[in-house]
Amino acid sequence: MSYWALSLTLIFVLIPLLLSKTLNLGLGRDMTVATIRSIIQLLAVGYVLKFVFDSESLLYIFLMVALMIIAATHNAQKKGAAIQGITWKIAVTLIFVEVLTQGILIGFNITPATAQYIIPISGMVIGNSMVLSILFLNRFTAEVEDHQDQTELILSLGGTPKQAIHRQLINSIKASMIPTIESQKTVGLVQLPGMMSGQIIAGADPIQAVQFQLLIMFLLLTTAAVTSVFLGYLSYPTLFNKRMQLLKG
Amino acid sequence: MSTQYKPAIHFQHVDYRIGDIEILNDITGSFPQGRITTLVGPSGAGKSTLLKLCNGLISPANGEIFVKDKAIGEYDPVELRRMVGMALQSAPMISGTVYENLNLPLELQGQQLAKEDALELLEDVGLKGDLLDRKVKELSGGQRQKVSIARTLVNKPEILLMDEITSSLDRASKLEVEELISKINRKYKTTIIWITHNLQQALEIGDYTWVMMDGQVVETGESSLLEDPQNQRVNEFVKGVVS
């Protein structure tokens, strides 16, 4: 795409700006800031990626992935403020998911161990893991609050904390995985995934683009399941003390 | 109080607070073994909190609680809660059938309740056996409370705590549950500590009564104390409630 063509894409920003002004939506400032931020952030990432790809240094790859994990942890931890030590629990979950998925991809020689593959795939894995963490924590904190009487019932009958929270944990894991599973069911029918569309537009063979998309989708299914289960089992014990009492607030 | 009975549970200078808010203040006293003790008092007096302390769902900020002469902290929480059963005010149920709810205490221990035992429990609490496979969402308020009590009995508790279990029931169901409380006490020699707002119930069912106000125990003794309270505040409370 030429710079002239790229400049013309700003038409897609002007349309909502005009609508906002005409209808007094009051979104003009937010949209302008969002546009400027996305231009700066994406261009910066583009140059950083070019530098890392050219250098082929494992240290830079590691730093890029570490940065992604730190940013994702920072973003997700706000939703789990009620859970003690949630920041490191999310960080450990993201690291575990990243190591597991890259371990399988590189270990089984599915993708090469180069920056060109590791960084974009890590971005998708960590980004999805972050969203899953937020979905899980949102649901889990609500479930614990809404079903406090069930938790107390099982504790009062001599159940363990794990038994007392089991239903809420399972409900939260299932609920957080629904969007991933549902989007897989309709993929290709309702929407063409962004990565596949990008490859096709860039001139790749559609069949090859589909193969990569399948790889990513299966990868994201593992990401979703492992994130919810791992984060769930790390989180629930902190809701109780050593006397098996439910800690409130 | 009641020096002729061994204490099933003894409170010694117990305080409980949430943050800076004092819920219970310097509670001292005993619940006699094998007897029925009623906790009465206005809302917010700390009665439900006191019951939760008895089976270790919460712990005191200060003071000691002894269950059968052993400090509560020395018990394994699971062992304690099976020995000191609790029927909660809202009678929470797990979704499913009456049998699945009755089976819950044993399921938590990796065991299963025999159908004959489940039928016997239903009979004990005055429910018909054909309710066993009924979904709990189809039960009336009174039936739910009875199933909740029967479920607590599965663990064969030596001490049974009941938190305002009759508050949302109609008059007929209330009478049935009152009779059930007496029956459990007679049949299993279970120590019962229960909360009610109804002073008439306390007089009829309870052997002993604790009157609580503002997080303190203001008067204890045989339930007949409610007919002629010595404490001025209790007197006002009784008159206020009775009238």
How large is the C-alpha radius of gyration of chain B?
Answer: 18
Element (H, E) at A143: helix A115-146
Rounded CA separation B102/A69 (Å): 47
pLDDT on residue A72: 94
Average pLDDT over residues A232-241: 93
Contacts of A248 in chain B (CB under 8 A): 18
Return the residue of A nearest to B74 by Cα. A243
Q: Does B71 touch chain A (CB under 8 A)?
A: no
Say which amino acid occupies B44.
G
Which of A149, A150, A157 has its CB closest to that of B108? A157
Q: What is the SS3 assignment for B135?
A: strand
Which of A155, A160, A167 has its CB closest to that of B57? A155
pLDDT on residue B241: 60
Alpha carbon separation from B47 to B25, B65, B140, B157, B211 (Å, rounded): 12, 15, 26, 20, 9
pLDDT on residue A212: 87
pLDDT at B142 > cutoff 80: yes
Encode pLDDT of B224-242 as tens digits.
888 888 888 888 888 876 4
Alpha carbon separation from B168 to A196, B128, B197, B211 (Å, rounded): 60, 22, 11, 21
pLDDT at B59 > cutoff 70: yes
Alpha carbon separation from A83 to A96, B107, B221 (Å, rounded): 20, 29, 44
- Domain residue extents for chain B: 7-91+158-242
Encode pLDDT of A35-90 as tens digits.
999 999 999 989 998 998 888 888 999 999 999 999 999 988 887 777 889 999 99
Which of B18, B81, B104 has its CB closest to that of A155? B81
Which of A150, A157, A248 has its CB closest to that of B105? A157
Q: Between A and B, how many CB-CB pairs are < 8 A?
A: 58
SS3 percent helix, strand, coil of chain B, rounded to 5, is 40, 25, 35
CATH tag for B7-91+158-242 (out of 3.40.50.300, 3.40.50.620, 3.40.50.970, 3.40.50.2300): 3.40.50.300
Q: Does B58 touch chain A (CB under 8 A)?
A: yes
- The complex's ipTM? 0.90
Residue whose structure tokens are 């270990």: A107
How confident is the prediction for chain A on average, in pLDDT?
Answer: 91
3-state SS string over B136-184? HHHCCHHHHHHHHHHHHHCCCCCEEEEECCCCCCCHHHHHHHHHHHHHH
Residue contact B92–A156, C-beta within 8 A: no
End-to-end CA distance of chain A: 53
Residue contact A149–B92, C-beta within 8 A: yes
End-to-end CA distance of chain B: 28
